[in-house]
Each structure stands twice: as C-alpha cells, then as structure tokens.
Amino acid sequence: MTTRTFGQRIRRNEDPVLLTGQALFTDDVNLPGMLHVAFKRSDYAHARILSIDTSLAAAIEGVVAIYTAADLGDYWRPGPLLVSPPPIKDVVFNTRTQVPLARDKVRHVGEPIAMVVATSRYIAEDAAELIFVDVEPLPVVVDMEQALDPAAPLIHEDLTQNLVAHVIQQKGDYAAAKAQADVVVSRRLYYDHGVAAAMENRGVVANWDRKSQHLTVWDTTQAPVVIRNGLSGLLGLSAAQVRVIAPFIGGGFGPKIMMFYPEEVLVPWVSMQLNRPVKWIEDRRENFMSTTHERDQVHWAEIALSKEGRILGFKDFFLHDNGAYGPYGLTVPINSQCTLLGCYDVPAYYSEFKAVFTNKMYVTPYRGAGRQHGVFVMERMLDFAAQELGLSVHEIRRKNFIPPAAFPYNNAIIYQDFAPLVYDSGNYEPALDKALDLIDYDRFVREEQPKLRAEGRLVGIGLVSYVEGTGIGPYEGARVQIEPNGLVNVATGIGTQGQGHFTSFAQLVADQVGVDVRHVRISTGDTDKFHWGTGTFASRGAVVAGNAVHAAAERVREKILKLASEELEAAPEDLELTDGVVRVKGVPGSAIKLGDLAVRANPLRGAVKPGMEPGLEATAYFGPERGVTASGIHALIVEVDPETMQVQIKRYVTVHDCGRVINPLILDGQIHGGIAQGIGNAFYEKVVYDANGQLLNGSFMDYLIPTSMEVPRIEVDHVETPSPSNPLGIKGAGEAGAIPTGPAFAQAVENALAPFGVEILEIPLSPNRLYELVQARRQEA
Amino acid sequence: MKPPSFKYHAPRSVEEAAGLLAEHGYDAKLLAGGQSLIPTMNFRLAQPAVLIDLNRIPELAYIHPAGDGGVRIGAMSRHVQVEKSDLIAQAAPLIHETMPLIAHPQIRNRGTFGGSIAHADPASELPAALLTLGGRVQARGAKGARWIEADEFFLGLFTTALQPDELLAEVRFPALPARAGFAAREVARRHGDYALVGVMALVGLDAGGACNLARLTYFSVGDGPTPAPQAAAALIGQRPTSEALAAAAELAASADIPEPVADIHATAAFRRHLIKALGKQALQQAFIRAGGAA
C-alpha cells in the first residue's frame, strides 16, 4: 500500500449527486398508479373517542379508502417495545407503546385516528378535514411534575399511576461520602431538549407486487434491516418477500430510528390491501406533532467534595417526561443517568429517576439522547462547587479527571447497551490544555474581560468537558467485492442520513485493496444488498459498520494476494496493491489489474479450488462487546446585550477526541452540525405545549432553529486517544457536538451576567428568560 | 399542508382585477408575493374560493418620484426592488433603512411592498413606517380610485380600510421636512424573524434646537402598528437631552402601550422593557440625524 487515505481530508464521494439534486430521496419515488395518504389526527391531547364519521369524506371523488382502528382487524396492535429495560436490580417498567390508529382514546395531539387513501395528497387532505370525530375531552397531564400526583388523570387507565419507570443505580456509598465532605452543593436543574427538526420529514412509499408476491418499501428509516424484519413479521410475509430501502435521507438524528411509527406500519399494509403503490410524505406540521421528540427533565442534584475540590460523591434524583407512550424503553433517561458522570472519577454515585407519561408526543432518542441532560447537571454542579471552593472552572475539572492510567475505567453502573458503563480509553488533560490555549482562557479572564466590563459590556467565557458513549453493539456487517471492471462494491446494512459513509467507508476499503477512493461504491440502506444489520444510531456507524467494512476489505486483500501470488508466481509479501493493480515489487511489467484478477477468481472454465470461494469477495461482521467512549472540551466566549438580552457567540472552540480519525473533513462537519443543534438547544429551540396539551409552535416560524446567522465560526481541534476496543482505534462522533453546548453556553452567559449575580439553572435560555433572571436579581438587590 | 381547491385568475390589468374583485368580493383573495397568503392557505387557515393573482399586472410595479419630493411605490414592487432603489435611499431613507429588517433575502425577492401593507400584520415593519412618515395609499376598484391616509388605513389585526372590492395600488410617502431625523430599530429572536418589538421614529428640530416634530410608532406590540402619541407629545418643545428621550420612552411603555401583547417568545413585561430600550435608542439616533446631538 503506497497511499493511505485514512486520516486524509478527502472530499465526499456523495456530494456531486447531493449538491446537484440527483440523489434519490423517498419523495422522489413515484410509481404508476400510486395512491396518496393523509391522516386525520387528534386535535385533543386526551379524550375518549365516542364515534368517528367518515361518510362525508368517503363521498369525495378521488377517495379510494378510509381506515379507522376498527377497519384494521387483527393488524391493529400496539407497536413493539424496541429496547427492553436494562438488567438493573428492582427496575420498574411499564410497557405502553403507540398504536397504529387510536381506538378508544387519544393520548396526544397529532395522534392518528383515521387514514385516508386518495388519488392525490390534496384530495386526501380535503377528505381528512371532513372526518368528524366525536370525543369526550378528558383532563390533561402536561406538566411532568404533576404526572405522579394521585389526583392526576390516568393516561393509560390500566395502570395505577402515570409511571413509565422507576430506576435506581448506585456505586459506592453516597451517604458516607457526604458525611466526609467539606462542601456540599445542591440545586434544582431543568433541561429541555427540543425536536430534531431534520431537513427532510418522514416518508414511506410501499409497493406490493401481487404477481411476484413481493413488497418494496422506501422508508426514511435509520434502520432498514430492523424495519424489514419487523414488517415481514407483522404482514405475515417471509423476510425474503420484503425489501426495505432507506435511500438518501435528509437528516436522521434519532427520531427516524427503527420506530415502527403508525404511518410506517400502515402504508405497507394498505399497499397490500389495495394492490397499489401508496405514498405518505409527512409534512412539517405533522413532523412537529407526530415525529418523536426529546423533552425535559428536572433534576434535584447534590455534589459532595473535599476542600481541595475532589468529588467525593454525587446524588441525583430526576423526573423524565416521556410523553404518551414509551416505545424506546429507557435509553434516554439511562443515558442521562450514565453520562452525568462525565470525565470524572466519582467514587460514590446515587442516581434515581422516575419516567412519567404525559399527554404529549412521545420521547425517543434525538442526537445526544439524554446525554445532554446528564452533562448539564454535572457540569453546572461543578461550576457551583468551584465557586464555593474558590477554584476556576478548569481547575476543578482537572482535579477530578479520570487519570490516563485508570483506563479501562469501570463506572460500575449499567449503560444503555446493557453492559457495565466502562470507558475503554481516554486522556482528558491534553484536550483541556489545548482548549485553554486555543481560547486563550487566562488572557481573556485577566485582561480582556475586565477591560470590556469596565466599558459596561457583558462578556463571559465558558468551558466544559464531556464524554460520549458511542459505537455500541450488537453488530454490523459488510460485503466487499471487486468487480471485473476494477470497481469495488461495498454493501452494508446500516442506513445513511448524511454521515459521509460513501466516503469514509470507501477510504477504509481503498486503503486495503489499493484503489482510488472514488472507485469504491458504497451501498447502504437496502436490505436486498445486505441482509443483516442494526442501524445508524448511537454514534455507531463508523465504529461498528466501519470496522466490519475494514474486516471484509482485509479478507478481500488476503484473497487478492493469494490469487495474485499464484498468477504472478511471487510470494504474497513481495506484492503491492496500488492504483487498482497488483505488482511484484521491483519487477516492472509483472503485474495484474484487480479487475482481471476478479475475472480469474470467477472462471467460466476450470475450477475454483477447494477452500476458495468464487470472486474477490468477502463478508465480515464486527460485534463489539461494549461501546467506546469519546470525549472533549467545548469553550466559548459570549457577549450579552444589556438592553435586549440577545446573546452573541464571539468564539466557539472545541477540542474533540474520538480516537483515530478516518476523515477530518467529515468529522469537522459532524462537529459543526452538532454544535449548531446544541446552540439551538441552548438558546432557541423549545417545544411549547399549553395547559391543554396543544402544541403552540408547530412551524418553523415559531419553533426557532439556528440559521447560519446564529451559528458562529467553529474552531475544531483534535486529540487522538485510539480505542483499544477495535482494530481501527476509532470512536463515534455523531453526537459529540450537540452534547456539551448547553452547559458551556449556560456557564458563559452566567459569567457574562456575573455583575448581576445571576445563576443559570436551566436550558433553553432566551432573551426573555435572561431578562427575567436579571430583573429578579435587581429586585432582590 | 396542501390547500383546498380554489379558482384561479391571473388578470393582466388593474381594471380586470377590479372587475374580478367586484364579482367575487369576500370570496376572493389577492395573491401578491404570497409570502403570507400561501403558508396560510397550506395550513388551511385561509380557504379562499378564488385567488386573483396580481403578478401579471406590470402597471402595479414601479418606483417613481412624487411631485412634492416624496415617492410613489407601486404595490407590486418587490421588497428587494425598494431595498435597492437609489430613489428610495435618497427620498425615503427610513424606508431604505427598514427594508433589510424585513425577513430574509428569499422572502424579499418575492414579497411585495403593497402586499405587506395590505396584509397589516401587526409584526410587520412597513405599516409602522407608513404611519410614522404620514404616507397614504391609493385604493382602486371597479368604482374608481381613492386615497386613504395612513392613520385611517390600519383598523386592527390584519384589517385595513380597503373594501372587499378594492385593491391597494400605490403607496405614497411625502418628503421629509427640513431638519428631520429618523430611525428604525427592532429586536428579533433570530436574524430575519418577526420582531419581538420594533419601533420607527421621526423627529424634527426648530431653528432653536427644540423638538417641533415627533412621531414614534411601535410594531409587534399590539393589534397593528401602534403609535405612542403621549411619548411624542412630551418631546415637543423640548431639547433632545438624554433625560428627555428616556422620559419619552418611559412614557411610551407606561402610558401609550402599558399592555403590549404576550406570546411564547416575549412576555408583556419584557416587551415593555424593550419598548423603553428601543424607543430611547431610536429617538437618540433620529435626533442625531436631525442635527441635534442627544
């Protein structure tokens, strides 16, 4: 191998088709005779359905069929519980999953009640508007802190309270730690996380071909293999009869994971009922109401420290607002519980949470997946402790970092992947030093800030650290094949939503078989191309599928060398693979093209020798025992306008450690995108429900996502602590950018508002909220 | 988010459009730039039976000087045309300064000057500018044309003095008086969003340096463009000291607009604070421009 692309800033193979509008997205699938679906959705957050009248709607010309829950027969059943509760002692968990169409009652605004199938989406929406649902409105549970009140109305009436789960995890003895502590700090903290707001909404196109008895489904899912397996089971088909294609997707971020959303299970069924292709494309209003959210947690946290600033123990109780159903188990609150521990050596930890049902859209992971909440709590508590102890925010962190020699470090509690929370590797101080240096922390605090404050300007600096558990199992697989024309075909079962798989995976293969990265063609998200897999989530694509691709490419390389050594009559170690050719080192003219070798590996005459398989092809799987832990530091400088309370981010620095980096260009993009979403989370995005459970901001006019005007230039630097847990030494990076932004922003704004003595205990913030906090302090003073 | 079906007309002249309006009246909606109407229809909040598209009436798109030193703006002039117009920059500098505050470039490319005024969104900049500058609009219908003064045009939430059979044809701004100064200020959540609070100021000074003209109009605080007459009156005869401006802005918040609207982005209390803060900033800049440093 003379050229190595691993670690190079290589432009993306997929960009030409994406940038010229040539890529296939679900809504681009248009089939002859295709029908269109619109849903009648609940206007009420909680109500009993008395009757549904579809007669006027059915009379509209162009309406082909209308279905309510009663029309689904045996197909009506609650969705699967996607992640069962982890094996934690005494865990309480009540499984209540979403239903395809509401039958007896509705539990959140936007819940589907009836499905209209028509010759156009326009007609389908006209008809949906004419479906009359007679309901008896029920009292509503909106505030999670009231959900467990004995007087609260029951969202699932077969339960005795609105409790999803009750979980306690602990290590060490917190009470003993507290007894020894010199300083104990406690606070109530609130963290709300908004919606993913992907550029592309959800969509499903299904085509049941009666003659071939085969179903093709194009689905904006992050996990096509899981959806294929689930749909075939639901529909009574063999998996071989179902092909699920997740084409290009305009952003996944979690809510497009293997959800088995009502629309996702209904559209394929309808296609089989009607023997017609059927399309449903979610519009933005539907996306706000009926694509899963993340949401708020309220924490009561306590940290116990020695006078030197060493953490002795941490205690936390929190409530988690789960919405109306719980299809994704406890992943989000478990992530909060585990990620709270961060980069720190915490000898004693007591963490208890209750997840509750409310009459709102249900919660499943969204980029960060609850990690934000935990990181916010720990980082804020360290800030408050630092203040009590007279330490700087970076000193207190440095004192408590897990030292490099302590890895693998066992946190002794159970993580979302059901394995003990073990950090495979980490080295936190170099990243901290780099970040302090990059943002010129000391000079800002010593010189710049006092000077600007004297001019009446409110400037502040923030710096936090975080870990991100990434790359969890169970496994992914890949098949690599050299074609007779020398191109390389790679197939994997994960889906792609913009992560750059067509390039980073191509690099891994190119490095093994010695071809140009542009000659490696990656296929993702098509269950007919690769049968096995789990999906793209939990920052696991590069780690798990990447290592599978690497392993398959290694095997193909071995095959190439074996066959070529026979063809060229040279020892394998004397061969080199470059530019699509196998050469005998130092023997000009003694070479064979990979394509020609591929033809010989698949001969028309003669024999494929025993022990060999035809073709230059191999399939491999990678199944890590547990995840790998990425980490980093975010630091920023902000200025708050003293009149309008607008916050301007003057600088944003991140030093990130995800082990070895396949492609720094792609990684930078991941970090930038994550931070943009983090900034939205910190200052702009909040889903607002009123007391009746009505969604008040279901459009981009009122739900504010940051634009290029609100996201500053982001300075990204890296530290590389390779993971010992996989051959490539890589860790995931998908969520890192989005995780620590909230606490970093809160610390910086609090620092800017230090002249007022404001304490920030919540995210998201807004000019209005900052004004209230400052006013409250002014009135106290 | 698909609109229900509607009948569509694309008249080629104002007369033809007026005839269609006379025929369909309340059932019809005029389509100008479509930046508010089309989303409203897609949300099915508006379900007009008839859409009359004004985009093929070239006679409605122009920017001309008026005889009195002011300007005449045809209703179908795109925001971007007004924004880039040298005539506007010179003869109606407050409008020139306001245009970049309106939404985003994409919206300004399609959105129309007349459409924004006829729509009378309480969060819009142009209705407040029209009131502040003392402009007027020409309404045209099958029965002829009439002029409506700005202070008689805005009647409430999305409501104007236009009759169902009339369309807004032209907006006219007078020349600024001598020794006048102006300012436009707004604060929005994100660049290009509707303002949380916005304000337009126009002031004048007499030969002795005392204020002889003061108009202050807020937007995004009530049902429409919202003047602050008590704040303005308090300035007349005063020298524009920092204290006088602060007192006027205080009066705008306490007396003129004591109960601004509240929504998910800003409480009434925060809006009152912004009314004060932005009012003072706008007056300061306006007086500086009028030649009397505040």
Residues 6+ apart with CB under 8 A from A166: A91, A92, A352, A353, A354, A355
Q: Are B131 and B168 within one domain?
A: yes
Predicted local distance difference test score (pLDDT) of residue B25? 87
Q: Are B40 and B129 within one domain?
A: no
Smallest Cβ–Cβ distance between B1 and the set A285, A644, A686 belongs to: A285
Q: Are B77 and B98 within one domain?
A: yes
Provide the b/e sequence for B108-123 (b: ≥16 CB within 10 Å). bebbbbbbbbbbbbbb
Q: Per-residue pLDDT tens for A18-61?
A: 999 999 999 999 999 999 999 999 999 999 999 999 999 999 99
A700 touches chain B (CB under 8 A): no
Q: How many domains does chain B have?
A: 3
A587 touches chain B (CB under 8 A): no
CATH of the domain at B263: 3.30.390.50
Q: Of the candidates B129, B149, B173, which is a domain's last residue? A: B173
Chain B stretch 126-185, residues whose beta carbon is closer than 8 A to a beta carbon of chain A: none
Q: Which domain holds residue B264?
A: 180-290
Question: What is the interface pTM, i.e. ipTM, of the complex?
Answer: 0.96
Low-confidence ranges of chain A (pLDDT < 50): 1
A767 touches chain B (CB under 8 A): yes
For residue B30, being part of any structural domain is answered with yes
Smallest Cβ–Cβ distance between A684 and the set B190, B269, B270 belongs to: B190
Q: Are B205 and B265 within one domain?
A: yes
Instruction: Spell out which residues of chain A touch residue B264, defining contact as CB-CB under 8 Å.
Output: 686, 688, 696-697, 702
Residue contact B4–A284, C-beta within 8 A: no
Smallest Cβ–Cβ distance between A768 and the set B3, B267, B277 belongs to: B267
Residue-by-residue DSSP string for B197-252: EEEEEEEEE-TTS-EEEEEEEEESSSSS-EE-HHHHHHHTTS---HHHHHHHHHHI
Q: What is the pLDDT confidence band of residue B292, given thresholds at 50, 70 and 90? A: confident
Closest residue in A to B265 (Cα–Cα): A768
Residue contact A707–B192, C-beta within 8 A: yes
Q: Are B64 and B120 within one domain?
A: yes
For residue B129, being part of any structural domain is answered with yes
Closest residue in A to B277 (Cα–Cα): A643
Identify the residue whose tokens are 């630091």: A635
Closest residue in A to B281 (Cα–Cα): A643
**What is the DSSP secondary structure assignment for residue A344, as one 8-state letter?**
B
Same fold, A15-22+473-622 and A31-138+200-250+257-290: no
Among 3.40.630.10, 3.30.365.10, 3.40.640.10, 3.40.50.920, name the CATH number for the domain at A297-472+625-780.
3.30.365.10
Q: Are B108 and B203 within one domain?
A: no
For residue B102, being part of any structural domain is answered with yes
Domain regions of chain A by residue span: 15-22+473-622, 31-138+200-250+257-290, 297-472+625-780
CA distance A215 to chain B (A): 28
Q: Are B275 and B188 within one domain?
A: yes
Q: Are B204 and B238 within one domain?
A: yes
Q: Of the candidates B107, B140, B173, which is a domain's last residue? A: B173
Smallest Cβ–Cβ distance between B265 and the set A643, A768, A775 belongs to: A768
Q: Are B130 and B154 within one domain?
A: yes
Q: Of the candidates B104, B138, B173, which is a domain's last residue? A: B173
E-assigned strands of A42-180?
47-53, 63-68, 92-93, 105-106, 112-118, 132-137, 163-171
For residue B216, being part of any structural domain is answered with yes
Q: To 10 degrees, what angle do helices A428-438 and A393-400 make?
A: 160
CA distance A364 to chain B (A): 25
The Cα A260–Cα A327 span in angstroms is 9
Smallest Cβ–Cβ distance between A644 and the set B4, B264, B274 belongs to: B274
Q: Are B102 and B11 within one domain?
A: no
Smallest Cβ–Cβ distance between A121 and the set B2, B39, B278 belongs to: B2
Q: Is A625 exposed, middle or buried (0-12, 13-18, 19+ CB in 10 A)?
A: exposed
Smallest Cβ–Cβ distance between B44 and the set A129, A710, A775 belongs to: A129
Contact indicator for A381, A346 with CB cutoff of 8 Å: no
For residue B83, being part of any structural domain is answered with yes
Q: How far apart are the first and last CA of chain B?
A: 51
Q: DSSP H helical segments within A130-261, as ranges?
A: 144-147, 174-180, 224-235
Chain A stretch 269-308, residues whose beta carbon is closer than 8 A to a beta carbon of chain B: 283-285
Q: In the CATH hierarchy, which top-level class contains the domain A31-138+200-250+257-290?
A: alpha beta
CATH of the domain at B37: 3.30.43.10
pLDDT at residue B294 greater than cutoff 90: no
Smallest Cβ–Cβ distance between B189 and the set A643, A684, A775 belongs to: A684
Output the CA torsion sign for B96, B101, B104, B107: negative
Predicted local distance difference test score (pLDDT) of residue A781? 81
For residue B205, being part of any structural domain is answered with yes
Q: To 10 degrees, what angle do helices A501-513 and A546-568 make?
A: 30
Residue B26: how many CB atoms within 10 A of its CB? 10
pLDDT at residue B293 greater than cutoff 70: no
Instruction: Spell out which residues of chain B touch residue A129, defining contact as CB-CB under 8 Å.
Output: 4, 44
B6 touches chain A (CB under 8 A): no
Chain B stretch 11-40, residues whose beta carbon is closer than 8 A to a beta carbon of chain A: 39
CA distance B194 to chain A (A): 9
Rg (CA), chain B: 19
CA distance A771 to chain B (A): 7
For the record, the structure tokens of A162 come out as 């609105």
Closest CA to B252 of B218, B284, B213, B294: B218
CA distance A149 to chain B (A): 27
For residue B2, being part of any structural domain is answered with no
Residue contact A707–B1, C-beta within 8 A: no
For residue B226, being part of any structural domain is answered with yes
For the record, the structure tokens of A353 come out as 């949470």
Residues 6+ apart with CB under 8 A from A75: A100, A234, A269
CA distance A328 to chain B (A): 29
Closest residue in A to B192 (Cα–Cα): A709
CATH number of this structure's domain A15-22+473-622: 3.30.365.10
Predicted local distance difference test score (pLDDT) of residue A611? 77
